[in-house]
Amino acid sequence: MSWTPVTMRWPTQATQWMDDLAAAKNLAGGELVNTVARLTGLDGLATTNPGPVGTAAQSAATSGRAALAAQLGEAPACLAVTPFQSGIGQGRGHQRFLSAPNLLTHLGDKLVDGRDPARPSGELYALALMFLSTRLDQLAESLARFNALLPVPDLMRAERRARHLSRLEAEKWVIADAGPLPRWQRLPLERCTLTKAAKRAMAGQLAVLESYAADSSPMADLAALASRKSAQQQGRDRQLSDLQALLAGGSADIGIRARLIGPGDPLQLRSALLEGDAPGHEWVLSAGVILVGSLDGLAFVRELVGL
């Protein structure tokens, strides 16, 4: 038996099923043209009337959107400090540390940093949160609980890095088993250029044929659509209710501390932030975020953290 030179060509035998669809495809195309003509003939004959519910629904929707915009439209300024940021944490390499007092110092210094053009100004309030821990996995879990409700990009990056470093610390002595090489695996036919091109070309045609083959009526389709919309709305309401129930029975988290200060200018806010009884240097892995804005702008987050 000899080796045969390869000639790339279209697999005619394997794709002959496409030719069998030509007659049905042409029939469906002609019926589609007739359907468009019939729908055009109904122009002006069929009308819809939303009834008295339309006005009430429009009024409620307008009020709801206005309330949502008022609640979330005035977003406060946000600044996050983590031990993994350049020039913030102490240590070498991957081992970075930031104690709680040093964290407060960094947060306060950023309030009065005149080199930062984005620094807030005027009479404002500030909401400061500290995430306290002594281990990387503890810091990752503390940040994860907060990011699950209010994801802050810098805190999410710190969470991922702390989690990866914790896993690296635990698994760095484990010798990985590569297994026998090379490995058996399934041939990825779905990644073949011919297969992908044929799939894209035939997807629309098959959908048209299936729509004509389906034995349904407009009334049944509308009823099914209404049922799906009702189920979706019930699912969203249930998800919101579950989240409210979860937060209603929450307990105090000693790993996350919050404090509201103000009103005052940035210098006064810094002084108030550094005053009082704060966590000490025993919390060697700390991260924090400070939100600066009006009292109304901070209302959502302030209530979220229980202040």
Residue range 146-160: average pLDDT?
Answer: 89
CA proximity to 260, closest of 225, 303, 199 = 303
More confident of the two residues 61 and 98 = 98
Sheet with 285-293, side-by-side order of all strands: 77-81, 285-293, 124-133, 256-264
Which pLDDT does position 14 carry in this prediction?
A: 67
What are the structure tokens assigned to 18, written together?
């496409």
Measured in residues, the chain has a length of 307
pLDDT in tens, 207-216: 766 776 666 6
User: In this structure, are residues 28 and 208 in contact, taking their beta carbons and an 8 Å threshold?
Assistant: yes
H/E element, 233: helix 218-248
55 has a pLDDT exceeding 70: no
SS3 state of residue 30 = helix
Which pLDDT does position 48 carry in this prediction?
A: 64
d(CA 266, CA 25): 71
SS3 state of residue 293 = strand
295 has a pLDDT exceeding 80: yes
Of the listed ranges 146-150, 174-178, 289-293, the least confidently predicted one is 174-178
- Indicate the average pLDDT of the chain: 79
Distance (Å) of CA 55 to CA 58, 64, 70, 214: 5, 14, 23, 37
Which pLDDT does position 173 carry in this prediction?
A: 84
pLDDT in tens, 172-198: 888 878 778 888 888 887 787 877 777
H helix intervals, 83-192: 100-111, 136-147, 153-171
Q: 54: pLDDT confidence band, cut at 50, 70 and 90?
A: low
Of the listed ranges 2-6, 76-80, 219-223, 236-240, the least confidently predicted one is 2-6
Which pLDDT does position 90 carry in this prediction?
A: 83
Q: 297: pLDDT confidence band, cut at 50, 70 and 90?
A: confident
Provide the whole-model pTM: 0.67
User: In this structure, are residues 289 and 129 in contact, taking their beta carbons and an 8 Å threshold?
Assistant: yes
d(CA 227, CA 206): 26
Q: How many CB atoms lie within 10 A of CB 125?
A: 20
Domain parsing of the chain, residue ranges = 75-170+245-304
Say if residue 286 is exposed, middle or buried (CB neighbours under 10 Å; 0-12, 13-18, 19+). buried
pLDDT in tens, 99-145: 888 888 888 888 888 787 878 888 888 888 889 889 998 999 989 98
39 has a pLDDT exceeding 80: no
Residues with Cβ within 8 Å of residue 113, at least 6 apart in sequence: 119
Dihedral sign, Cα of residue 203, residue 205, residue 211, residue 213: negative
Which pLDDT does position 77 carry in this prediction?
A: 85
Most confident of 72-81, 110-119, 152-161, 209-218: 152-161
Q: 24: pLDDT confidence band, cut at 50, 70 and 90?
A: low
Residue range 153-178: average pLDDT?
Answer: 88
Q: 160: pLDDT confidence band, cut at 50, 70 and 90?
A: very high
